[in-house]
Amino acid sequence: MKWRRVLWWVLVVFALYAVYRAPDQAADFVRNVGEWLGTAVTSIVDFFDGLLS
């Protein structure tokens, strides 16, 4: 269980470091992930709409 907590903190510290060192690239990454998730949700909704139509 302790290794999960250590891994979590390593990821948090890395994310903060990445935002500090390259905020524009971090913002682009977050924007791209958001667009990808939006596209995935839209595709799933379209799929189920097609099944129900």
Asked if the structure places residue 34 within a domain, the reply is yes
What per-residue confidence (pLDDT) applies to 44?
97
What per-residue confidence (pLDDT) applies to 53?
84
What is the C-alpha separation between 22 and 30, in angstroms, rounded? 12
Asked if the structure places residue 30 within a domain, the reply is yes
What is the C-alpha separation between 25 and 28, in angstroms, rounded? 5
Number of domains observed in the structure of the chain: 1
Amino acid at 47: F
The upper half-sphere exposure of residue 24, i.e. CA atoms within 13 Å in the direction of its Cβ, equals 0
What per-residue confidence (pLDDT) applies to 1?
75
Asked if the structure places residue 32 within a domain, the reply is yes
Using 70 as the pLDDT threshold, list the residues of the chain that sit under it: none
- Taking the whole predicted model, whether its pTM rises above 0.75 is answered as no
Give residues with Cβ within 8 angstroms of 18, minimum separation 6: 25, 26
What range does the domain containing 37 cover?
A: 23-53
